[in-house]
Structure 1
Amino acid sequence: MKIQLTVFIFLIGITSASSQNQLQQADDLFALGNYSKAIENYKAIDNLETVYDKIAKAYIAIGNYGEGIAYYKKAIVANPEDDLLQYDYAKLLIRTKKYGAAKQLLHNLIVEDSLNPNFHYEMGLVLEKQKDTLALEAFKKVYTLDKTHQKAIFKVAKQHIIKRNFKEAHRLVDEGLGFYADNVELISLKAQAYYFQEYYTHAVVWFKKLIELGETSEFIHEKLSLSYAQNSDYEDAIYHRKEALKFNSFDANAIFVIGSYYERLSDFEKAESYYRNALEIKDVSLANEYQRLGIVLNRQKKYDEAIKAFQASIIEDPTDIMTEFYLIRTKDEYYADTDTKIMLYEKFKEKHKGGPLSAVADRRLQELKQEKFLEKN
């Protein structure tokens, strides 16, 4: 009898050791990223209910969220008191857009432990997805419970920026950066806050910090470019707008803006090139673009081409008096015959009696008539 009992205990020991080895092997496979093989090994373990959560995580790792959810449900049934399981399951429900179920689960967790900031944070994410205004209150609760919570600080500070409460936004961001100076999300908020406040010099400093940290995007370079332009630093503005173009090379508006910066630098040849490029890409009303092209052509004394550009602008928008006047001024520069010039201004005055440019046209008309008088004498 003693021999039989000893053998039985020995066999149990072997089985237990074998099971432990299999679990260790499955865990090692999971740690190495061999998730499908890990699932096979987990499923071969005798006490399957002890590894339901691990199987769920392995399925999630390979993108099979359906099986992940199924095994989390089994894990919770097997371990109904395990709050960590329920918390992980709630995050998976959020990830798979099952917001109603996630909300109920998080509510239960908060009832059990109202001082856990991450329960409130995940609840805030659910409410945010459901466009519930109580989301902000959830994020504020997180901040109250944990002043170092970077994600909550970001959510609350972002809302202050939206509401243009910049002083409070800066305070929160500075507090967050005090705990983690390289938080790119908070640095981005800082840069945007200064930009919206029209403190462009400060905005430049913070947008450049993002680039120094390896962050690069169309948004960052565009806002940097606009900030430099507001300070009349057009060369830097051009550089960053070109960097932004690398993300969207057919952005006609960006190309046009670069042209305007070259125009400010009096580099009319490059301005012309960018304006023409923008015109080739755009498929909407081009009145403004043709007008600006006409202006830079005029500045280069390319009067014949400028006239064609202004005429194209008028075709796009026949109501633009300014373009019409630019056209007459260019013809004034281009044509030699004084009588023709006088006729152009007289027609303009007749067409736009009492208009905002009538006085300007009248002054030039008087000058031309005096020139004609002097020519005869």
Structure 2
Amino acid sequence: MMGIKSIWYSCLILFSFQAGAQSSALPVADSLYALGNYAAAINAYAKQNNTASSLQIARAYNAIGNYDKAIVQYQETLGMDPNLDIARFELGKLLLKTKKYDLALATIDVLVSKEQENPEYYYYLGRVWESLNNQKRADEAFRNAVQKDSTHLRSLYSLARSFVSKKEKDSVLKYVDMGLRFYEDDVSMINLKALAFFNNGQFGMAIPHFERLLELGEEVPFVYNRLAHSYFRDLELEKAQKTYHQLMKFPEYLADAYSGLGEVFLKEQQLDSAQYYIQKSIKERTVTFDKEYADLGRIARIQGKTKTALDLYTKAWEENKDNPYNYYQVCILADEYYKDANTKLGYYERLLEMYPDLAPFIAERVQKRISEIKEEIHYAGN
């Protein structure tokens, strides 16, 4: 009898020791994880056989960057507890990060289907739909996130950004202003507001928002470039000139700065300065110079140098044949320069042949001029 009691007592002590060892091992694993010693933490967690340690192993693999093992471990964790939403959510985000979009969609859909009041689920659902190139479904998910939380900045930003790309200014402003009411100095939102006006041609309305970005420390080239252009279009030429000079601090934007200064001086009828900066812009560029050649063509035309202007606009067209407007200018200048009616006619007819979808107002003018030239040829033949 005493032997049986002794055995039972020994087993109880052993069980208590093992339980104590397990409970003491968990804080050690947590400490290793917190210190970023993930490999050692994984080994420590592996000694525990429970859902919490399995989740931590998945997180450690994720932190290391071993995403394949992390995904497998998250899946094993969910096998142990299918209702562990935190594991499913982290898995969904990791699948999105690793571009496994279909799996990410299926994973996050499970969370959304539970109809929980969590805007983050809908935000990441939107991110997945964006990655699958379905912006309509993405916007729907972002709207659901905003319905759950009207201050969810990332969803508000995503919606506003979507409408910026569609150039739907009013929708952009709706969501941007919602975000700015919550955080008035959010530079991403302010930038979208500036772009909404800029893309809509409302340059005067865009200016204060670009200026605000600079005040908030966003001294980046694209802000200077768009602000300078906005000043130019709003006829604040002195400010435009100063801002283009600031843009020159960024070597990769020198061509844009020179080109912008050329436009400013051209507007002010300072033709020598305009010509100087446009030529500098051409030297800086390594791709195409159609805009610069066209500006030089305008200068030559103002100076009464018709043949030079014709040659420059021809170069502009050769640099970018997707722009029919430059070839239209070639036609007009050829019309002025050449005396032979058939030569003039050939230019206009080639324009219509090369660009059948020409803007209606240009096509009408060209058709009218072709009729006039043909009439001249007819009467000259008689």
Same fold (TM over 0.5): yes
Q: For residue 188 of structure 1, what is the amino acid of its counterpart?
A: N
String of CA shifts for 1:314-347, please: whole Å, max 9, x gaps. Answer: 773697367679xxxxxxxxxxxxxxxxxxxxx9
Where 1:198 maps in the other structure, the secondary structure is coil
Deviations 1:176-202 (A, max 9, x none): 222222322222221122223333233
Q: Which runs of 5+ in 2 are unaligned?
A: 318-326, 349-364, 366-382
Per-residue deviation, residues 211-265 of structure 1 (Å, max 9, x unmatched): 3333344432222122111122234334444555655626645532232224445
Judged with a 3 Å threshold, the aligned counterparts in structure 2 of structure 1 residues 123 and 259 are, in CA distance, closer, same or farther, namely: same
Q: Which 10-residue stretch deviates more, 250-259 or 310-319? A: 310-319
1:191 to 190, 194, 206: 194
Aligned to 2:172: 169
Match of 1:372 in 2: none
Flag the 1:236–1:15 CA change in 2: closer, same or farther, 3 A.
Answer: farther
Cα distance change of structure 1 residues 36 and 232 upon mapping to structure 2, 3 Å threshold: farther
Match of 1:146 among 137, 145, 149: 149
Shift in Å, 1:103: 1.8
2:200 matched to 1:232? no
- Distance (whole Å) between structure 1 residues aligned to residue 232 and residue 139 of structure 2: 35
How many residues in Structure 1 have an aligned counterpart in Structure 2? 330
Distance 2:184 2:100 in 1: 35
In structure 2, the partner of 1:350 is 339
Aligned to 1:82: 84
Q: Distance in 2 between matches of 1:68 and 1:119?
A: 20
Asked whether the 8 Å contact 1:290–1:310 carries over to 2, the reply is no
Of residues 107, 111, 115, the one that matches 1:109 is 111
Question: Alpha-carbon deviations, 1:265-313, whole Å to 9, x = none?
Answer: 56656544422222224466757634644776999x9x9xx99975862
User: Which consecutive unaligned segments of at least 5 residues does structure 1 have?
Assistant: 326-346, 357-377
Letter in 2 for 1:313: L
Secondary structure of the residue aligned to 1:350 is coil
1:108-147 superposed matches below 5 A = 108-132=110-134, 133-147=136-150
Sort the Cα spacing of 1:20 and 1:278 in 2 relative to 1 into closer, same or farther, 3 A: same
SS at structure 2 position matched to 1:134: helix
> In the alignment, which of 24, 27, 30 is matched to residue 27 of structure 2?
24
Query: Structure 1 residues 210-219 or 146-155, which shifts more?
Result: 210-219
CA distance in 1, matches of 2:338, 2:32: 86
The answer for the alignment partner of 1:67 in structure 2 is: 69
CA distance in 2, matches of 1:294, 1:162: 33
Summarize the Cα distance change of 1:288–1:48 in structure 2 as closer, same or farther, 3 Å threshold: closer
After superposition, residues 1-377 of structure 1 pair within 5 angstroms as 8-43=11-46, 45-47=47-49, 49-132=51-134, 133-241=136-244, 243-244=246-247, 249=252, 252-265=255-268, 270-282=273-285, 286=289, 289-290=292-293, 292-293=295-296, 313=312, 316=315, 320=330, 348=337, 350-351=339-340
Shift in CA distance, 348/73, structure 1 to aligned 2, threshold 3 Å: closer
Q: 1:222 to 1:160 in 2, by over 3 A?
A: same
User: Partners in 2 of 1:252 and 1:150 — Cα distance?
Assistant: 36
Amino acid of the structure 1 residue aligned with 2:172 = A
Asked whether the equivalents of residues 247 and 253 of structure 2 are also in contact (C-alpha less than 8 Å), the reply is no
Distance change (3 Å), C-alpha of 1:308 and 1:166 = closer
CA distance in 2, matches of 1:162, 1:13: 64
Query: Contact 2:296/2:312 (CA < 8 Å) preserved in 1?
Result: no
CA drift of 1:160 comes to: 4.1
